Amino acid sequence: MEIWFLGTGAGRPSKERNVTSIALRLPEPDGGLWMFDAGEGTQHQMMRSSLKMGKLNALFITHLHGDHTFGIPGLLSTRSYSGGKGPLRLFGPVGIEEMVRTALRLSGTHIDYELLITEIKEDGVIHEDERFVVEAWSLDHRLPCYGYRLMERDCPGKLNTERLKELGVPAGPLYGKLKQGEDVQLPNGTTVCAADVAGAPLKGRIIAITGDTSPCANIARLAQNADLLVHEATFAEGQEEKAHEYGHSTTVEAAQAAKDAGVQQLIMTHFSSRFLLEDMPMLKEEAQRIFPQSEAAYDLFHAKIARRSDC
């Protein structure tokens, strides 16, 4: 699993940063792409990365401010020309459907795939599939805003192939059943127990992504024991009053949230345009004094999200 920061600026684009968008490349076998927010120019940023538009199958919007949404119509349109033929699921606060469908209708934009829009009206689980459970938690901002908690389901443990060969288990469908925890019977009548040939299930990863927010109780729920917390850090240490006036957080508040929630890693994003790339070491150092596993993202920064023990 890999996370990409397509835009890391707040409010408006600058010469050094585009506005907000994050992409999560899911693990094989599906290898799909989930995106979180799509500010103006997001599809241009994708073209500068190794991400494929045709792989995009879910879009999660934190709130309706333009720096998080103005890139949606172009993104949806381009997907039609990039091999994205399957359904695309779009999640966001109440109003996202009107915003998106009105833009598509008035611009005469045709998309040749099914667009499934879910408007979030309360905290809790908003999506489940074979690999993930996704929760949305309301945050403290000037518009209704949600953070997303992605919980990967546990992965079956590795098979002991040497032991399988000793027991005479033929490679193929029986391996799959054993990996899923099913006991199997061989043609000679011997029963092979999954517990004897498969390792313990491996714990799924947890990724928490905030939208714009001032410190609030739901950040702890969102981030509890996460492998990765992505948290906005619009302002620097000492600018708390200004940050809260606009519904934002500082570097030290993001770091404190990570420490309190017991996360493994913090990546900060959504920096005010007053901060240049040369200011990033200072902002990162502010956070690392509180939470050493802190990083400050820049446009096209990407990182692997390691499983605590690989499948």
Q: Tell me: is residue 129 an annotated ligand-binding position.
A: no
The one-character DSSP state at 223 is H
Q: Tell me: is residue 141 an annotated ligand-binding position.
A: yes
**Hey, is 274 helix, strand or coil?**
coil
Phi and psi at 195, nearest 5°, equal -60, -20
Q: State the chain's maximal CA–CA distance in angstroms.
A: 74
Choose, from 37, 67, 227, 299, the residue flagged as catalytic: 67
**Does the active-site annotation cover 30?**
no
- H/E run at residue 3: strand 2-7
SS3 string, 45-61, reads HHHCCCCCHHHEEEEEC
The one-character DSSP state at 153 is P
Q: Tell me: is residue 248 an annotated ligand-binding position.
A: no
Token digits of residue 101: 């469908």
Q: Tell me: is residue 68 an annotated ligand-binding position.
A: yes
Distance of CA 247 to the CA centre of its chain: 22
Q: Tell me: is residue 30 an annotated ligand-binding position.
A: no
Distance of CA 27 to the CA centre of its chain: 12
Q: Tell me: is residue 310 an annotated ligand-binding position.
A: no
> What distance in Å separates the CA atoms of residue 98 and residue 88, rounded to the nearest whole number?
17
Q: Tell me: is residue 244 an annotated ligand-binding position.
A: no
Indicate which residues carry an active-site annotation.
67
* Residues in the annotated binding site for Zn(2+): 63, 65, 67-68, 141, 212, 270
- Positions at the binding site: 63, 65, 67-68, 141, 212, 270
